[in-house]
Amino acid sequence: MAPAPDHPSLVRSGVAGLLAAGVALAVGELVAGISGRLSAPVISVGNRIVDAVPRQVKDLAIDWFGTNDKIALLTGIYVLVGLFGIAVGVLAARRFAIGAAGIAAFGVVGVWAAGQEVGAPWWAGLPSVLGAIVGIGALAALLSSIEHADHPEAIDRLGADDGAGLLARRGFLQVAAGAAVVGAAAFATGRWLQRRFSAAASRSAVQLPAPAEEVPELADAVTLDVEGISPFITPNRDFYRIDTNLTVPQLAAEDWELRIHGMVDEEIRLSYQDVLDLDLVEERITMTCVSNEVGGGLVGNATWLGARLRPLLERAGIDPKADQVVGRAFDGFTTGFPVSILEDDRPALLAVGMNGEPLPLVHGFPARIVVPGLYGYVSATKWLTEIELTTFDRFDQYWVERDWSADGTIKTMARIDTPGGLTHKPAGTIPIAGVAWAQTRGIEKVEVKVDDGEWTEAKLAEEDSSLTWRQWVHEVELDAGRHQVVARATDGTGEVQTEERARPFPDGASGWHSVTFLVD
């Protein structure tokens, strides 16, 4: 019989650590399903990463992954946990206490992260604690099965036949398979239990009232019949989502409350029904994310239903010294914009509806703020629970703390929707089309330049209002070959969109959008 190795197989030890880490995370998911006040360890740790990473890393994540940045972060966390588990398994095979300490340390991180969640109970770390305990136990069982597999002579000395050694080697596979099944079952059950806390049923039960002021019927002329152009109204399912939450927050309307406080004469608290009982209005408003690159898709147009913010805040009594309106989400995320914004004609809203439905869960149900003309990072608080009147000297909102500009005025922009980059078009008349926006200022004209030609004014669809984007199209005869098209817009004040190229940080991207395509 060959001499037994001094240490268990590296491969099997690594697999043991990987499976133990997986079981620990799965048990964390399972325990998190006990209560809606608990978060799975990966989510708690991920939220702390979102809060802590430098702005440049967040910008890079949005550049690379766009609206899939959260999926990318969670995938990265799972990969790192897997690598950590492999290392723990290899170390534990040589000295078990080291591996156990590694899993325990990860549990401590989870407990700390859970404790940082807004409104976390004292027992918020329970998923991480129980996950770590079960993970250590799973590691011990897996390593023990490897020991038997790698030292069958121990069985021989007990009088077992050669078949027992073979069975011992198969023992690790059986234990590993069992750990994988238990982990998968715990993970799936945990996710199923967590769905009990979904606010979907609460949303489905909402009956939005008819608005006191309906938005005028959409004129046919605001939409151009051009294949590939963005629809004038963006369907809810296609509307972009950018926020700091790794999972969609679940706030039930019946438990929701809005607190208006700070530099006011009298603090006000409103239930969801209180908001529905207000004189609600409809407004079509185009929203834009400050992270939107030139030509990017982080912009959309919707019909919003809500209460006007100005009379609502005046009901509380605005201190004349207050110059900032801070929106605070359930998790402490904040936005902030000038009080003076409420004094012009733009319809800043406490919104409860979107395109004829209660706000979708991903877009802020039960309520959010919508302010025309401002990027979302300074105004569009989703999952809103508080509005505070304060001053810019006293308080820096979430993104301003991270060096973004406090002035979130949306820049004038034209985007080419069709033709797409490097697409093939047949020779002949080709429509160049897209959308342009300059919320609250409106779009006066869009110009297009093909190759080295002159700027030519495009045909504009009828303007719905200065709060919404405007479709445009320019038809041009082109021969076969490679062509480039550039677009620029002029806003309602007569200011031409700047050619100067700038990245989104610190106050929004700028520059002309250009597309290169091929004509066959």
395 secondary structure, DSSP code: -
Single out the residue of 145, 151, 148 nearest to residue 176, CA to CA. 145
pLDDT above 90 for 108: yes
> 432 vs 115, which has greater pLDDT?
432
Given the DSSP bridges, would you call strands 459-460 and 456-457 parallel, antiparallel or unpaired? unpaired
Q: What is the pLDDT of residues 291-306, one digit of tens each?
A: 999 999 999 999 999 9
pLDDT of res. 151: 53
DSSP letters for 6-55: SS--HHHHHHHHHHHHHHHHHHHHHHHTT-TT---HHHHHHHHHHHHS-H
pLDDT above 70 for 3: no
pLDDT above 80 for 267: yes
pLDDT average, residue stretch 143-156: 62
pLDDT above 90 for 103: yes
Given the DSSP bridges, would you call strands 443-450 and 456-457 parallel, antiparallel or unpaired? antiparallel
pLDDT above 90 for 120: no
pLDDT of res. 201: 93
pLDDT of res. 169: 56
Report cis status (omega within 30 of 0) of the bond before 338.
Answer: no
**Strongest mean pLDDT among 148-157, 196-205, 412-421:** 412-421
pLDDT of res. 366: 98
Question: Where do the domains of the chain lie, and which CATH numbers do they carry?
Answer: 10-197 (no CATH), 220-390 (3.90.420.10), 413-519 (2.60.40.650)
pLDDT above 70 for 68: yes
Q: Which secondary structure element, helix H or strand E, spans residue 187, and what is its range?
A: helix 162-194
pLDDT of res. 37: 83
Mean pLDDT of all residues belonging to the chain: 91
pLDDT of res. 166: 45
pLDDT above 70 for 431: yes
pLDDT confidence of 171, banded at 50, 70, 90? confident
> 345 vs 361, which has greater pLDDT?
361
Single out the residue of 486, 500, 439 nearest to residue 284, CA to CA. 439
Question: For a pLDDT cut of 70, what percent of the chain falls above it?
Answer: 94
Q: Are 417 and 435 in contact (CB under 8 A)?
A: yes
pLDDT of res. 73: 84
Question: For a pLDDT cut of 90, what percent of the chain falls above it?
Answer: 78
pLDDT of res. 162: 46
pLDDT of res. 116: 87
> 90 vs 70, which has greater pLDDT?
90
pLDDT confidence of 161, banded at 50, 70, 90? very low
Q: What is the pTM of this model?
A: 0.84
pLDDT of res. 301: 98
Single out the residue of 99, 123, 118 nearest to residue 31, CA to CA. 123
User: Side-chain half-sphere of 516: how many Cα atoms within 13 Å?
Assistant: 3
pLDDT above 60 for 158: no
pLDDT confidence of 53, banded at 50, 70, 90? confident
Given the DSSP bridges, would you call strands 334-338 and 324-329 parallel, antiparallel or unpaired? antiparallel
Q: What is the pLDDT of residues 377-417, one digit of tens each?
A: 999 999 999 999 999 999 999 999 999 999 999 999 999 99
Single out the residue of 244, 194, 279 nearest to residue 382, CA to CA. 244
- The sign one gets for the Cα dihedral 502, 286, 465, 507 is negative
pLDDT average, residue stretch 441-468: 97
Q: What is the pLDDT of residues 208-262, one digit of tens each?
A: 999 999 999 999 999 999 999 999 999 999 999 999 888 899 999 999 999 999 9
Q: How far apart are CA 11 and CA 9, in angstroms?
A: 5
